[in-house]
A and B are shown apart, each in its own frame.
Chain A
């Protein structure tokens, strides 16, 4: 099995009738994701690509199992929508919205912790288990099933690495985007732990970037608990201090936020360091030998 999701995961799409939500819902469905319901307030009773739309999450979960939600609700309304999902007892929520106020994210994550739910994101492309289930917005033709687990802050960087691996005939078990920060639900460290336990994953690729100190925590986890090989690529080596490099979390404030310090910590922890996406297939081949 893959981590977080598999071919049996029953998915609800929140914000299903907006232009992005409906476009992505259709692509996920075509990929084979089991979408069992959609929710948009005021649009209850309609059907979209054969998916029944409800006004409220509590109506959608009546009489059917829902394992996971992907939310396309815009940042301004994301807190309410996320709490609605967590409150209904659903265990996995993917928050795609970028720019949710930090205090809103804090409340959502705290409520999730109380209710035992896992939140991926915000500002995440979601998670894909190639060939099984896609709970996200990934360009899925760039991925194929196989033994490599990928965990990434950036969506686009995970696509880039997936594309290079797939082109070289190396498939992936699960590709997890944890989001652009500066506050994260599921952390790199937590995803590493899942991959370590997952029998389908043999090698892990960690994709990090400047800003914050998550990669240092990941490095500590790798050196203390991991037996599987880890390849790390940290981008933003050329980023100046204090500038925001796209993601809200990608801003160097202090020594720990620099790419150099993260690379040094990961290398010391035993991870192999890739300079670019192109190095990764070669490093994986080396592990195989």
Chain B
């Protein structure tokens, strides 16, 4: 889960890391609570906001409401702006970059710092990578003081204690909340100490069960701010925790594995068809999952044909057949369904489908061809 800036800063502040004083704004009325001058920042889950013009310093209330209107009506990289933060400006002496993340190339947590913090950090990484200082943190021993002292020395930081305190706090949040990334950019060095001017935090969805209340609260907060209307298929898939990606075409697709799902899409595309979605049930799907998944994919009115691409390993084909048959019994639907079924227990599954009048093929290319032709006819 990617937190919005104000959510990320709240997590930092709870741990004692200082952030600018701020007010969340969802309408111009909220400006009554803001003291000026202030910095308005759009709360969208993407980077590059400064360059997109959705971070603005305002000197007085008079000019503010039109700016708020304008920003709340804007869209940044496909994300409609639903909320703004109005933050007290901070006197900045130096801007640092600080990040703690999991480096998936070497399977180790990595501390990264730079004295070239700010909006151009990606350019710095590209052009002068030596200005980004990296320190791997062995998960067997955790972060130690010497590693922090080494980074502080490289950055020529005077107040090593304050810096060490900040790094240890970041590492603690990372550990305690199952984060996969905590990035503070810039970390401002001010006359009054260090202040996190911007923050990006990613939490590990796979660890949500360890922090259920926190995840639920953050998600509820984000949903409340979301104005974009979701399709029924997206709503159902979120509720049922089904991996569903809308793709805009007319051939619905359900697979029992990610790889087989992706190759099915590629083959549909190569055969001249247009996939309506990607949908994968995961390695351990059962009959009930199949029914719910069909409900999701077929709730999209644009689907003219449905491909079900099954190659059972962990997933049992007798259970998949049971789910398909049950769905067809319970629902009055007219979209033609083309099924590929092979693998674990398919010798039981295929007869179950045939008994209820649904055919199943063994070959993936065959169903792709049938589906693409049908979609063109309809």
Q: 8 Å CB contacts to A: which residues of B224-279?
A: 243, 245, 247, 255-263, 265-267, 269-270, 275, 278
Min CB gap A55→B, angstroms: 25
A interface footprint on B147-189 (CB within 8 Å = 1, 0 otherwise): 0000000000000000000000000000100101000000000
Interface flag for B127 (CB, 8 Å)? no
Min CB gap A18→B, angstroms: 11
User: Looking across the interface, which residue of chain B has its beta carbon closest to that of A107?
Assistant: B139
Given the known inter-chain contacts A20-B284, A103-B175, please indicate yes or no for A159 contacting B209, CB distance below 8 A.
Answer: no
Min CB gap B93→A, angstroms: 32
Given the known inter-chain contacts A125-B314, A245-B278, A245-B280, please indicate yes or no for A159 contacting B270, CB distance below 8 A.
Answer: no
Give chain B residues whose Cβ lies under 8 Å from the Cβ of A139.
311-313, 342-344, 346
Give chain B residues whose Cβ lies under 8 Å from the Cβ of A240.
245, 247
Given the known inter-chain contacts A237-B266, A238-B265, A240-B245, please indicate yes or no for A101 contacting B260, CB distance below 8 A.
Answer: no
CA distance A138 to B313 in the complex (A): 5
User: Looking across the interface, which residue of chain B has its beta carbon closest to that of A104?
Assistant: B207
Q: Is the CB of B107 within 8 A of A106?
A: yes
CA distance A210 to B343 in the complex (A): 25
B interface footprint on A161-196 (CB within 8 Å = 1, 0 otherwise): 001000000000000000011111000000000000
Q: Is the CB of A278 within 8 A of B243?
A: no
Q: Is the CB of B283 within 8 A of A123?
A: yes
Interface flag for A149 (CB, 8 Å)? no
Interface of chain B: mostly helix, strand, loop or mixed: mixed
Interface flag for A228 (CB, 8 Å)? no
Q: 8 Å CB contacts to B: which residues of A60-117?
A: 75-76, 96, 98-107, 109-111, 114
Min CB gap A90→B, angstroms: 19
Given the known inter-chain contacts A123-B283, A209-B259, please indicate yes or no for A276 contacting B267, CB distance below 8 A.
Answer: yes
Per a CB cutoff under 8 Å, which of A100, A159, A212 touches B206?
A100
Per a CB cutoff under 8 Å, which of B209, B283, B313 touches A98?
B283
Binds B, one of A4-12, A246-254, A281-289: A246-254
CA distance A209 to B46 in the complex (A): 24
Give chain A residues whose Cβ lies under 8 Å from the Cβ of B283.
96, 98, 123, 125, 137, 155
Interface flag for A244 (CB, 8 Å)? yes
Which of B109, B206, B245 counts the most chain A CB atoms within 10 A? B206
Interface flag for B108 (CB, 8 Å)? yes
Interface flag for A243 (CB, 8 Å)? yes
User: Looking across the interface, which residue of chain B has its beta carbon closest to that of A275?
Assistant: B270
Q: Is the CB of A102 within 8 A of B256?
A: no
Given the known inter-chain contacts A98-B283, A100-B206, please indicate yes or no for A152 contacting B259, CB distance below 8 A.
Answer: yes
Q: Is the CB of B261 within 8 A of A238?
A: no
User: Looking across the interface, which residue of chain B has its beta carbon closest to that of A123?
Assistant: B283
Interface flag for A213 (CB, 8 Å)? yes
Give chain A residues whose Cβ lies under 8 Å from the Cβ of B302.
none
Per a CB cutoff under 8 Å, which of B104, B256, B313, B314 touches A183?
B104
Min CB gap B174→A, angstroms: 8
Which of A160, A213, A244 counts the most chain B CB atoms within 10 A? A160
CA distance A105 to B245 in the complex (A): 27
Give chain A residues whose Cβ lies under 8 Å from the Cβ of B245.
239-240, 243-245
Q: Is the CB of A163 within 8 A of B342?
A: yes
Interface flag for A277 (CB, 8 Å)? yes
Interface flag for A17 (CB, 8 Å)? no
Give chain B residues whose Cβ lies under 8 Å from the Cβ of A245.
243, 245, 258, 261-262, 278, 280
Per a CB cutoff under 8 Å, which of B105, B139, B207 touches A213?
B105
CA distance A182 to B206 in the complex (A): 11
Per a CB cutoff under 8 Å, which of B210, B262, B267 touches A209?
B262
Q: Is the CB of A246 within 8 A of B282?
A: yes
Interface flag for A235 (CB, 8 Å)? yes
Min CB gap A69→B, angstroms: 17
Interface flag for B220 (CB, 8 Å)? no
Given the known inter-chain contacts A106-B107, A235-B266, A238-B275, please indicate yes or no for A101 contacting B207, CB distance below 8 A.
Answer: yes
Q: Is the CB of A238 within 8 A of B266?
A: yes
Which of B138, B180, B207 counts the most chain A CB atoms within 10 A? B207
Q: Is the CB of B180 within 8 A of A102?
A: yes
Q: Is the CB of B107 within 8 A of A239?
A: no
Interface flag for A262 (CB, 8 Å)? no
Q: Is the CB of A137 within 8 A of B263?
A: no
Interface flag for B55 (CB, 8 Å)? no
CA distance A166 to B180 in the complex (A): 41
Could you tell me which B residues sit within 8 Å of A by CB distance?
A: 102, 104-105, 107-109, 138-140, 175, 178, 180, 204, 206-207, 209-210, 243, 245, 247, 255-263, 265-267, 269-270, 275, 278, 280, 282-284, 311-314, 342-344, 346, 364-365
Beyond A106-B109, A106-B139, 16 additional contacts (C-beta under 8 Å) are A125-B314, A154-B258, A154-B260, A155-B314, A156-B259, A157-B262, A159-B260, A159-B343, A238-B265, A244-B243, A245-B243, A246-B280, A275-B266, A276-B266, A276-B267, A276-B365
Q: Can you list 22 pairs linking A and B with CB atoms under 8 Å apart? A: A24-B314, A104-B207, A109-B107, A110-B107, A111-B140, A123-B283, A125-B313, A125-B314, A137-B283, A139-B342, A157-B257, A159-B257, A159-B313, A160-B263, A160-B311, A163-B342, A217-B105, A236-B266, A245-B258, A245-B278, A246-B259, A246-B261
Could you tell me which A residues sit within 8 Å of B by CB distance?
A: 20, 24, 75-76, 96, 98-107, 109-111, 114, 123, 125, 136-139, 142, 152-160, 163, 180-184, 207, 209-210, 212-213, 217, 233, 235-240, 243-248, 250, 275-278
The 3 closest A-B pairs by CB, nearest first: A154-B259, A156-B257, A246-B258
